[in-house]
Structures are given as structure tokens and as C-alpha cells.
Structure 1
Amino acid sequence: MGSVPSSVRSISDLALIAGVSVSTVSRALTGKGTLNQATRDRIRAIASEHGFRLNVAAQNLRLGRTGAIGVLLPLGNQRGQALSDPFFSTMLGHIAEALTERGYDLLLSRVVPERDMWLDDFIRSGRTDGIIMIGQSDQHAVLDRAARHHRAIVVWGAHDPGNAYTTVGSDNHAGGVLAARHLLQRGCRRLAYFGHGDTPEFAARRAGFLSALPEDIRRDTTVVASSVAPEASHIAAHDYFAAGNRPDGVFAASDVGAISVIGAAGEFDIVTPHDMAVIGFDDILLARLCHPPLTTIRQDVEGGACMLVDLLLRRMEGADTQSIQFTPQLIVRETA
């Protein structure tokens, strides 16, 4: 066994002093990998005592890693969606916390696809060790192609057994069914659905909602194409009510859309829930804070964010993973 060094200049020196392997020191100082907490604390204390700080950049360079995970928001058919969107900012916050706990930095990119190779180009740039995609937009074919030759991709969104990529998301169809049944139980019969139909998640919510309606009600239910962007969704709702439509029940495919519907309805003296019951989807913070508080379909955003990070890191280590689908929950508040 080598002699204990009088000063600590490298990770090897620290390993000798601590009486452990170099890899154990690396795990202790980076926070990555499995390690007994007492051992981790002892090694960090020794490093602090000797004024040693790990050069993570140099270590990543030696290992061929960047130490960063890319979080991408593809905006194929929703180009008006901003990074400040309440759902996205909530999801991003939870992902950032989970990545920090695992010792990774986050590289955020809002992508407006101009060509089919945009994801392949990002992967070849070598800027990140893995990719978390928030939503699929209309980029299913792009994601599928990239995932067939690049393991380190996971996607938040609707599950499709034919996907080559691993997804984490809610059972959107079941969420739509929950919304329909609740409106029917309240006695609502003149119904409307607000949401964009070109994304897999919104399409599944709409399909679930319509499938749970009796034939006569489904036949008369209005489907309103509405963006996820607040301004655009408010305009769509305003135009709908300005045309004289007066539903007694509305299911919006997002909480932002539902809040826009309530606001636009108020401009025509339609009071929620007295004149019109409204249900949203997501259960973002605004759903609890708006007036009246929004009845909504909750999806586990925090749990989903942690699962995205966990599955991605497992795939980066070579493990095979299965897509995960959470069961949504009806949260009854004052709007329905």
C-alpha cells in the first residue's frame, strides 16, 4: 500500500488518505452513483480539511462526458408556447431539482423545428449526455428516428406502443373520461371541449371525453380548436361565446385553457359555475389560486419529472426501460 501523501493534489491522493478507491471518492464528491451516506460525508470532510475541490470539468473531459442533460421543448405545431407557460415552468423546476440531486447541470432549449434532422443535429453536437423532451408536439417521426440510434432520450407525453422511445406521462384518455363523467353527474348536457387536436396528449384527452358521453350529447358537443398559449386560447373562447354559444359544461385540455374560457365567458355575463361548469387539466398552481378555484384533472408532474430523470440515467448506464403511464385524478373545486 502506498504512503499517505502530505498534501492533496489529486483524487488519487484523497483516496489514499481516506483508504478507499478512486471511484468511491469520485462518487462521494460528485453525488453520482450509490454510496453509503456516512462514507460520502467522511470523504467530503477530508476533502474540505485539505482544501481539495474536484475539477468536474476535467473529470468529465477524461470520461468523455459533459455533465449536462438537455431539456428540450419542441414546438412543431404550438410555436406560440413560451418557456413561461405555467405547466412547462412547473415541470422544468422539478426536473432541475432532480438533476441537481444527481449531480447534473441542465441545458434548456426551446426548439422550433425547421428541418427533420434538428434532433439528430442536437445529438451530434455533443453538448449533453442525455435528453429529456417535454412533449412530442407533431415531432413523433423525428423522435422515433433519433431514438433508434441514440439511447439517452426520454419523453414526457402520451404513450404509444409503437414508439421507439421511452415515455413518461398521464393516461390522458382516462382523464378525459373523468371530466365527462363529472360534468354529466352535475347535470350538464350542452357541452364543449377546448383544446388543440394535433398533439397526442390533447387528442387523447378529447377522445376520452367524447367517448364517455351518451350518443345524443356527443353528437351536439362542440370541439373548439384552442392553443395552449393564454392570449390565443382567450381569443378562441371569446370568439366562441361571441357567436352566441352558451354551453352549460366545458372541458378544457389544460388549466390555462380553462382559465381563459372562464375569463372570456365573464365578458358575456356567463358566470362560472352558476351558468357554466368548467374543468381543466394539469392542476398547476394557478388552478388553486384563480377565482373561483378550478376543478381539474391532476397529473403527477413532480413524480413524472423525477421518473424522467431516473429513467434517463438508467438508459445512460445501458439499462432497458419501459414507458410509464400515471393514473390521473379528478380534483373537485368550485368551477364544477
Structure 2
Amino acid sequence: MATDDERTTRGSVRTITDLARIAGVSPGTVSRALAGKSLVNTKTREKIEAIAREHGFRPNQMASGLRRQKTGVIGMVIPLGHDARQQISDSFFMTLLGFLADELTNEGYDLMLRRVVPEDDADWLDRFIGSGMIDGVIVIGQSDQFERIEEVADGYRPMVVWGNHTEGQRHCVVGTDNRLGGRLAAERLIAAGATRLAFLGDTGPMEFAARFAGAQDVAVRLGVPITALPTHLSPDRASAEIAGHLGRVAGSVDGIFAATDTLAALCLTELRARGLRVPEDIRLVGFDDLPIARQTVPPLTTVRQDIAGGARGLVQLLLRRLAGEETESLVMPPQLVIRHSA
């Protein structure tokens, strides 16, 4: 007999998350149960299957069913759990999206782009892959959604993520060795004469956390202090936060590692406004090697990640997964690009 909770939600089951709430299990357990995974015990699987039947949760709502459909469309989704005000117009996003659009067009696919704030839409990923409108999905950035992505990966094969690779993770990722990149940045600052470092960026998102950890590795090894200066990426907050940071650390920092070239460029503007010279007074290193890095004054020393190669990797791995293959993650080596800021 159905419970009161089940009766009140009858007909409202649209996603795996809805089904998981009624069954009292995680979305990942539902994904594995409906996919017939042996990791789910028989009793739990039968309960989930019964609830799915009762609520008309049809096979074509499931990831396994979607793999048999062909829409000719690849979904791209940008989760912004770390900073709801960040925009798709961010230079990094626009650069990666441009390369991805070229790669997908060459493969005969159209693309559908979504920007989501997980705090406002907990079902953001389930809803997208369960929409029936896409053949597969590329997630651009893990943000603070690592566990959500892991759960979906258990039952949905055609998904590849741009982000940071962690040993033992289940979702397929393409990205740069961010920790090594952080080491390269700190080593360059110290080689250029810096003796007191700061990291400019949010250490919450996985990629930025790894960059900061790499810089810490070098700082600890060489006995150089390093301070984290938490900074958002949204343009309406970043400039003011950078100004505040520089006001507080004035005279106590002579080397700054910015988590992105965009933050580094904003930092250059504020340093100039304060009458500080780069690199004479402050050495500065960015990350990404976006076009803006060559256009700043002085040109920006930065850690290059191969964004074009990453886009190719994302698309090729997704195509292989659409064909039913298991794939390994792709971790690309960073490269230090020395210009004039450090």
C-alpha cells in the first residue's frame, strides 16, 4: 500500500532525484538500481522499480533509454554553485565554449547551453539529461557539485566534465594538472625575487583549490609564507575585493599568484592605481593564458592550459562514451609562459 508521502507526490516524479526522495535513497542509488547494477541489493532495487512503475517513471526518462535516442544535440552546462553572479561572458568560458562549438560542429552536432545555479535548482543535472533533448552532456567546471556529478555518473555514461581530476573519482574529466600549475606559478614568483606570496582567488572550487595547494607545496618547501585572498570571479565583486585585499596586505606581499588571468588583469589595474610597479614592486602570475594575458601592460606571465586541446579531448571522449566505450580521464600538463609581470 502506498504511503501518504507517495500519494501526495503521485504523478510528480520527473527526475531521478524525485524518485530518490520518495524511495528514501540517494539519486546515485536510483541510477544504479534502474540500470540493473549489482551494487544495489535486490530488496532496494525492487522497491525502487516498484515506485518507478507506480509513478509512471518511463524508461525514456532514464539515462539508459536516452542513449538509444538521437537528437543530434550535445548539452553543455555551467554550474555556478561557487559564485551565482559569475557570467557566461567570463573570458575563460567564452574561450572554451568557442573551441567546443567548433569541435561539435565539425562532428555534425548542435549544442544546447545552460547556466545553472544549483542552490536554486537541486535537480539541475538530472533535469537536463532527462529532458530528452540531448544525446550527451559536457559539464564545464565542477564548482561545488562534485558529489552530484559523481552520483549522476553512476547511471549515465555519455557525460564528460571539464575540471580537476581526483584519484578514484567516477566521472570522466578533462582538465589541466592544476596542482602542478600552482607549483610552476609559485616557483616563478620566487625565482623572480618574491619572498612573501599571496594567492588571489576562491579556494573552494576544486580547480582553484588544487592551484593554491600546488603553490603551498612550493612555499612550504622553500620556507616562503603564502596567504590566500578569497576573491569571487563575478565582475561586480572582484574589483572591490581585490582593492580591499591590496589595501590590507600593502607592504607585506611582493608576489601574487592569481587563480585566473582575468583576476590578474583586474589586479594589475588596481596595482597601477596604487602607484605600484609590476614587476619591480609586485611580481604577478596568472593562470589560463587567455588572449588578455598578452594584451595587459606589462604582458602577463601566466600558466598556460591547453584550452583548445581540452575542447578536442572533451568532444572525442564524449563521442566514444556515446558509442558505449569506457574512457579514462585526460589530465593535460600545464606550461609556464614567461612574459614581463614576473
TM-score (norm 2): 0.77
Shift of 1:154: 0.2
Q: Deviations over 1:135-163 (max 9, x none)?
A: 00001111111111110100000001232
Shift of 1:242: 2.0
Q: How does 1:35-74 map to 2 (within 5 A)?
A: 64-74=69-79
Q: How does 1:117-196 map to 2 (within 5 A)?
A: 117-196=123-202
Indicate yes or no: 2:336 matched with 1:330: yes
What letter is aligned with 1:329? Q
CA pair 158-268 structure 1, distance change in 2 beyond 3 A: same
CA pair 198-214 structure 1, distance change in 2 beyond 3 A: closer
- Once residues 112 and 65 of structure 1 are traced to their aligned partners in structure 2, the CA distance between those partners, rounded to angstroms, is 28
**SS state at 1:325 partner:** strand
Indicate yes or no: 2:239 matched with 1:239: no
The answer (yes or no) to whether the contact 1:194–1:253 under 8 Å persists in 2 is: yes
Indicate yes or no: 2:321 matched with 1:315: yes
Shift of 1:120: 0.9
2:204 matched to which residue of 1?
Answer: 198
What letter is aligned with 1:307? G
Q: Deviations over 1:46-102 (max 9, x none)?
A: xxxxxxxxxxxxxxxxx7311000011001112121111001000000000000000
2:293 matched to which residue of 1?
Answer: 287
- Once residues 198 and 249 of structure 2 are traced to their aligned partners in structure 1, the CA distance between those partners, rounded to angstroms, is 13
Unaligned 5+ runs, structure 2: 1-67
- Once residues 282 and 217 of structure 1 are traced to their aligned partners in structure 2, the CA distance between those partners, rounded to angstroms, is 27
The answer (yes or no) to whether the contact 1:230–1:256 under 8 Å persists in 2 is: no
Count of paired positions: 274
Identical pairs, percent: 42
Shift of 1:233: 2.1
Indicate yes or no: 2:131 matched with 1:99: no
Q: Deviations over 1:238-295 (max 9, x none)?
A: 0012235232111011001111111111221111112111000000000111111100
CA pair 215-313 structure 1, distance change in 2 beyond 3 A: closer
1:255 matched to which residue of 2?
Answer: 261
- Once residues 222 and 111 of structure 2 are traced to their aligned partners in structure 1, the CA distance between those partners, rounded to angstroms, is 50
**SS state at 1:213 partner:** helix
- Once residues 330 and 142 of structure 1 are traced to their aligned partners in structure 2, the CA distance between those partners, rounded to angstroms, is 33
Shift of 1:115: 3.9
Q: Deviations over 1:292-322 (max 9, x none)?
A: 1100000000000011000001000001100
Q: Deviations over 1:86-140 (max 9, x none)?
A: 0100000000000000000010111111243221111111110000011000011
- Once residues 327 and 244 of structure 1 are traced to their aligned partners in structure 2, the CA distance between those partners, rounded to angstroms, is 32
- Once residues 249 and 72 of structure 2 are traced to their aligned partners in structure 1, the CA distance between those partners, rounded to angstroms, is 56
CA pair 256-116 structure 1, distance change in 2 beyond 3 A: same
Of the three residues 84, 92, 97, the one matched with 2:89 is: 84
Query: 203-212 or 238-247, which moves further after superposition?
Result: 238-247
- Once residues 128 and 244 of structure 1 are traced to their aligned partners in structure 2, the CA distance between those partners, rounded to angstroms, is 48
2:229 matched to which residue of 1?
Answer: 224
Q: Which of structures 1 and 2 has the bigger CA Rg?
A: 1
Shift of 1:217: 4.4
**SS state at 1:121 partner:** helix
Q: Deviations over 1:156-201 (max 9, x none)?
A: 0000123221000000000000011111111210211111111100
CA RMSD of aligned residues (A): 1.5
Query: 147-156 or 266-275, which moves further after superposition?
Result: 266-275
What letter is aligned with 1:144? E
Q: Deviations over 1:192-226 (max 9, x none)?
A: 111111110000000000110146844x3221001
The answer (yes or no) to whether the contact 2:157–2:321 under 8 Å persists in 1 is: yes
